[in-house]
Amino acid sequence: MTDQFGKRISIEEVEEGKTFMPKFDENGLIPVITLEDSSGEVLMHGYMNSEALIKSIETKEAYYWSRSRQKLWKKGDVSGLKQEIVKILVDDDQDCLIIRVNVAGSGASCHVGYKSCFYRVLEDKENLKFIETEKLFDPDEVYEGEDNPTIL
């Protein structure tokens, strides 16, 4: 599916051109940082394969590739917390994306129930401190019967 995008021929075209030529890694993935459009807050980090990227572009809703479950998933299909894409930003060498989104429902994007997946800050080399203290939804209710995507 990566042949649906422009072919990477020259550095000049990749860095300064107008053709979208995403560079997927050896696993066929490109990293994606997801920001809330209104605040600029980082909501999550994920990956897209070419299918997820194409569906995201075509539908203006965020799709990702789950590395732990090895499958395509549409954000919010189970929880209802869909991410409507406002814009997709492409970095200089086209190997990383930022998507700015509006989130449906409670505004949460984290499967743990917090607004952002980045709900803790590193205090020192061993300790995390919560910077979000209230969950926006109960994940046990929302994801009842679903496997937790976090893999040990």
Q: What is the pLDDT of residues 65-91, one digit of tens each?
A: 999 889 999 999 988 899 999 999 999
Per-residue pLDDT of 37-66, as tens digits, reads 999 999 999 999 999 999 999 999 999 999
Considering the segment(s) 2-142 as one domain, its CATH architecture is: Roll (3.10)
Task: Round to whole Å and give the CA distance between 47 and 21.
Answer: 16
Check if the beta carbon of residue 53 is closer than 8 Å to that of residue 30: yes
Domain ranges of the chain: 2-142
Q: What is the CB neighbour count within 10 angstroms for residue 89? A: 11
Amino acid at 109: S
* Reported pTM: 0.90
List pLDDT tens digits, range 104-133.
Answer: 988 888 999 999 999 999 999 999 999 999
